[in-house]
């Protein structure tokens, strides 16, 4: 059973959450390659994604940040981008800091 499946089944140990979070960040980078948006899920990881203008130094202009549990729920379709934004579970700054239409990355019941 994968870390993602274990987490969705209720496992909340740090190792499982970290592995599921990192796996889904890697999937995001594959599905939406690019360097325009930085998605941060502290403390477990971050990735750059979405094609468009590239930043090379300093804080990127388009940043999305959320907690690991919210990230997993977004990535598997148990929480929509709009719901997460409305509930302030995601912060997004920058004109391109939007994952609506990219999420969910995988479908899990």
- CATH 3.40.47.10, domain 3-93, yes or no: no
pTM for this structure?
0.91
Structure tokens at 31: 């599905």
In contact, 75 and 104? CB cutoff 8 Å = yes
pLDDT value for 59: 73
Kindly tell me the burial class for residue 8, based on how many C-beta atoms sit within 10 Å of its own C-beta (0-12, 13-18, 19 or more).
middle
- Provide the pLDDT confidence category of residue 55 given band limits of 50, 70 and 90: low
- Residue-wise pLDDT tens digits, 6-39: 999 999 999 999 999 999 999 999 999 998 999 9
Domain ranges within the chain, ordered by starting residue: 3-93
pLDDT value for 27: 97
Q: pLDDT at residue 3 above 70? A: yes
φ, ψ (nearest 5 deg) of residue 90: -135, 135
Structure tokens at 94: 């920058």
Element (H, E) at 82: helix 81-86
Q: pLDDT at residue 53 above 90? A: no
């Amino acid at each position: 059973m994968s870390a993602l499946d274990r987490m969705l089944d209720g496992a909340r140990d740090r190792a499982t959450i970290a592995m599921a979070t990192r796996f889904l960040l890697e999937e995001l980078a594959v599905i939406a390659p690019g360097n325009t948006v930085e998605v941060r899920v502290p403390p477990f990881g971050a990735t750059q994604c979405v094609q468009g203008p590239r930043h090379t130094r300093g804080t990127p202009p388009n940043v999305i940040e959320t907690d690991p549990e919210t990230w997993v729920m977004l990535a598997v379709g148990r929480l929509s981008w709009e719901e997460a934004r409305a509930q302030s579970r995601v912060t997004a700054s920058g004109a391109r800091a939007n994952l609506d239409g990219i999420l969910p990355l995988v479908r899990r019941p």
